[in-house]
A = this chain, B = another copy of it.
Amino acid sequence: MTDLVTFGETMLRLSPPQGTRLETTEEFDVRVGGAESNVAVAGASLGLDSVWLSKLPRSPLGRRVVSELRAHGVRTGVAWDDDARLGTYYLEHGGEPRGTNVIYDRADSAVTTVAPEEIPLGVLDDATAFHTTGITPALSDAAAETTRAVLERASEAGATTSFDLNYRSKLWSHAEARETLTDLLEHVDALFVAKRDAEAVLDRDGEAVEVAHGLATDFGFETVVITRGDRGALALHDGEVFEQPVYEADTLDAIGTGDAFVGGFLSKRALGGDIDAALEWGAATASLKRTIAGDLAVVTPEEVERVVAEGDGGISR
């Protein structure tokens, strides 16, 4: 029995030291990141048997991705490509008012040619949950087709399917996203969506609770989770509404916060928690992530529980 299967692209993440610019840096911190593997790592860290499916170049760089995910306990089901390149992203952290800048160098990466038959979908047959995001179908037509195929297969196999809309303006336009995603969402049980993406991509207006009801009605979602940045998350599940504030955090690296939220939420659900508890785990995992360098939420269930219970850290000695 596998608790959680995810599918998507994972890239090499290259970032200069704090305060140093891409123009002048002589050093990159090297990590891997991708929304779906970030969720799988959060899941594995929190106790799930997690599997990540994708396509990678057969090279030391492709192995670099698998190696880091395995280190965090994620099993990997990878189609290896002899020629293609590894997607890369450059991340420059800047405090205000400079902000954080991401430069994608992910065109023609291995996953853009992925086909359903290349990847070991058999793992879906006894999977409890499947998760992917709106980034994957934005990568290429093949990736969009495969996303649909994998979602269908997961759904048929009885897994709960979840989807984080995760609109990326550097990959496609609102209109392109709307067209592709609307189609995919029919195979989804639980939607995670930022309020601003619901507005811009899914054409929704009004308060979060209205948006959630509208989406649930239109697409038949069992669960809709709307995230609103500092104002916390709202969930609609089987008609019932739940609210969750954020836990405050000293933010060292904000990248991956949303994925940590999803990973925490799905983990608590997979472990039998109700929506309330899942929202708490999501928010706590997200706040812990903010204190950790890299995309990945390297946290324990005990730490998540402590944040839920107390909200803060202090010195333990």
Query: Which residues of A come within 8 Å of B, CB atoms?
Result: 14, 16-31, 59-61, 63-64, 67-68, 70-73, 85-86, 88, 90, 92, 94-105, 107-108, 168-170, 247-255, 284, 287-288, 290-294, 298, 303, 307, 310-317
- With most chain B CB atoms within 10 A of its CB, the pick from A27, A96, A168, A249 is A96
Interfacial chain B residues near A96, Cβ < 8 Å: 248-250, 291, 312-313
User: Which residue of B17, B97, B100 is within 8 Å of A247 (Cβ)?
Assistant: B97
**Copies of this chain, tallied across the complex:** 6
Once A311-B97, A313-B100 are accepted as A-B contacts, the answer to whether A70 and B68 lie under 8 Å apart by CB is no
Which of B28, B102, B108 is close to A27, meaning CB atoms less than 8 Å apart?
A: B28
| Known contacts A22-B60, A60-B103, then 18 further A-B pairs from the complex at CB < 8 Å, ordered by chain A residue | A23-B64, A23-B298, A26-B26, A26-B29, A67-B71, A88-B88, A94-B313, A95-B252, A95-B291, A96-B250, A96-B313, A97-B288, A97-B311, A97-B312, A97-B313, A99-B312, A99-B314, A104-B317
A292→B73 CA distance, assembly (Å) = 25
The 8 Å CB contact of A24, one of B71, B168, B247, is B71
